[in-house]
């Protein structure tokens, strides 16, 4: 199994964490296990991508414009910053999305160079973690599968907005039906970390 892997960390931003403008319940619970994934991918030399929701102040998804969300992740404001404990490597690729004021975009692939960059690196398998399970994670996973990637959802590294309490469960069913591979950070670390040990002892 030497498919080229990449890690994609979706929208782990202050506004999606407790105390932020659009908090995901326990959104910050994902930070510690994601940091462990980051360190394993870094050690192995696998590429690491971060998406961030990066809206103009008058974005169409905001309530003052008739959208469903309170203003959040306005570009270049503290709320749009990554969670302060998230360990973003210097050479990580940061993908800003939903940057156009009249267009909503929940997927990291929509209107960005993500697909092109993954193809350029010959990535075949994408490990997805972050926020929120029922919006940007879901849409990113579905688009990744549509791109022809094997997509692994790291289930202990995601959390949902749950406008309706069942939204995360519905999103998991959608992703499962589309062919996502469910895994955990422990499993990924065992597999990828284990690969390092095997190759260094041979
Ligand atoms: C998201 C709601 C609004 C997300 C972004 O990152 O999942 N959710 N904007
Ligand atoms: Zn948004």
Among the listed residues 104, 116, 102, 7, the one whose alpha carbon sits nearest the alpha carbon of residue 51: 7
CA 106 vs CA 21, 121, 186: distances in Å: 17, 23, 27
Pocket test for ligand 1, best of 106, 112, 153 (most atoms within 8 A of CB): 106
Say if ligand 1 is within 6 A of residue 131 CB: yes
Count of structural domains, the chain: 1
pLDDT (mean) for 119-124: 97
CB 79 within 8 A of CB 21: yes
Q: Provide the pLDDT for residue 138.
A: 98
Domain membership of residue 70 as a residue range:
5-201
Closest Cα to atom 2 of ligand 1? 135
Q: Is the pLDDT of residue 49 over 50?
A: yes
Helix axes 31-44, 194-201, angle to 10 degrees: 20
Percentage of the chain lying above the pLDDT 90 cut: 93
Q: Provide the pLDDT for residue 195.
A: 66
CB 54 within 8 A of CB 109: no
Ligand 1 nearest-atom number relative to CA 134 = 7
Pick 103 or 193 by higher pLDDT.
103
Question: Residue 92's domain is classified under what CATH number?
Answer: 3.40.50.850
């Amino acid at each position: 199994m030497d498919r080229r892997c990449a890690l994609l960390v979706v929208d782990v931003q202050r506004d999606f964490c407790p105390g932020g403008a659009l908090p995901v319940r326990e959104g910050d619970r994902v930070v510690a296990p994601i940091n462990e994934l980051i360190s394993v991918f870094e050690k192995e030399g696998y590429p690491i991508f971060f998406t961030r929701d990066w809206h103009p102040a008058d974005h169409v998804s905001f309530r003052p414009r008739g959208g469903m969300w309170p203003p959040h992740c306005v570009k270049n404001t503290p709320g749009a910053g990554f969670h302060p404990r998230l360990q973003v490597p210097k050479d990580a690729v940061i993908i800003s999305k939903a940057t156009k004021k009249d267009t909503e975009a929940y997927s990291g692939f929509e209107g960005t160079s993500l697909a092109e960059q993954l193809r350029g690196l010959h990535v075949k398998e994408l490990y997805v973690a972050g926020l929120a399970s029922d919006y940007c994670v879901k849409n990113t996973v579905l688009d990744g599968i549509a791109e022809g990637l094997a997509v692994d959802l790291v289930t202990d590294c995601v959390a949902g907005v749950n406008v309706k309490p069942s939204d995360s469960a519905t999103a998991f069913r959608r992703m499962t039906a589309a062919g996502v591979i469910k895994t955990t950070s422990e499993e990924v670390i065992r597999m990828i970390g284990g690969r390092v040990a095997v190759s260094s002892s041979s």
